[in-house]
Amino acid sequence: MDQLLYVLMSTIKRWLLVFALHLAVVAQAQPVDPHRLLSAYPAFLSRLDGQTVVWNDGARTPLSGAHLFTSPADRLNRPDLLEMFRQAYPACTPLHPPAYGEDPGRARPVSFFGKMYGSSPSAVRARLVPVNWFGQTLLFSGVNGGNLALEAVEKDLKGLPNLRNYLTPSAGTYLWRLVSGSGRQSAHSWGIAIDLNTRYSDYWQWEGYKEFAPGIPYRNRMPQAVVWAFERHGFVWGGRWYHHDTMHFEYRPELSGC
């Protein structure tokens, strides 16, 4: 009986800890002005009408969906536009291990990005253009100047041969796929993400933890100079996430830039 009570108490304690951590995630909220969408994506968006984004083709997307989030995982699985801005992305600041649940830029409303970059493999592929990445030819989206931003990063880092091992070979850019172990569309599907050399990278899933488990150990070997070069040109970095993915950079000009 004592043992049963002990198991019950430790289960309750564990759940209380997870609940407290979830509350801490909500408390981290630092809302960012959604007007940044308009300056980031002028080829597609024309204005904000109250709480609705108006597209150049007349389509309208509410900033906030009708869905009430029930958990941090739910926020990632069914994010609305405001969810993208709930946690401020700390572009061009010194690197530091993120707090529990700090994942700025990891929420992506699928229909929003699909409308710009393509909502099927063939639609995305039609918009990919070749980019020279230190002698390797990569395909990256030509939409919203994504390819030009990646070229600008390469130019910034070209004169720093000591960083070359981190940057190349790239583990890939475009691939229509779900995020490993989830039902969520990966940013690689839209041709707006690049993975660098896996040899010098760290990824939370390699640690064997479940998503949102407390205490996922943070690891990073990516130099700050690489991160800042990408951030200067509108990329977010997966190493700024509690669910760290240090090889991963993603073109998100609504969140990043110095």
Positions touching Zn ion (CB under 5 A) are 193, 195, 248
Comparison of 79 and 80: residue with beta carbon closer to Zn ion: 79
CB atoms within 10 A of CB 169: 16
Q: Is 193 helix (H, G, I), strand (E, B) or coil?
A: strand
Contacts of 24 (CB under 8 A, 6+ apart): 99, 100, 101
Comparison of 86 and 248: residue with beta carbon closer to Zn ion: 248
For residue 150, with 0-12 CB atoms within 10 Å meaning exposed, 13-18 middle and 19 or more buried, which class applies? buried
Shortest Å distance, C-beta 132 to Zn ion = 20
Shortest Å distance, C-beta 248 to Zn ion = 3
Q: Is 116 helix (H, G, I), strand (E, B) or coil?
A: helix
Shortest Å distance, C-beta 223 to Zn ion = 18
Shortest Å distance, C-beta 147 to Zn ion = 17
Q: Can you read off the two tokens belonging to residue 118?
A: 């393509």
Can you say whether residue 49 is alpha, beta or left, with left for phi > 0 and alpha for psi between -120 and 50 degrees?
beta
Shortest Å distance, C-beta 102 to Zn ion = 18
Comparison of 83 and 195: residue with beta carbon closer to Zn ion: 195
Shortest Å distance, C-beta 176 to Zn ion = 13
The residue number with the shortest CB distance to Zn ion is: 248
For residue 103, with 0-12 CB atoms within 10 Å meaning exposed, 13-18 middle and 19 or more buried, which class applies? buried
Give one DSSP letter per residue of 16-46, joined into a string.
HHHHHHHHHHHHT-----TTHHHHH-TTTEE
Comparison of 193 and 227: residue with beta carbon closer to Zn ion: 193
Comparison of 81 and 179: residue with beta carbon closer to Zn ion: 179
Shortest Å distance, C-beta 149 to Zn ion = 16
Comparison of 45 and 76: residue with beta carbon closer to Zn ion: 76
The full 3-state SS of 54-89, as one line of letters, equals EECCCCEEECCCCCCCCCHHHHHHCCCHHHHCCCCC
Q: What Rg value do the Cα atoms of the chain yield, rounded?
A: 19
Comparison of 80 and 253: residue with beta carbon closer to Zn ion: 253
The closest alpha carbon to 203, from 235, 179, 176, 227, belongs to: 179
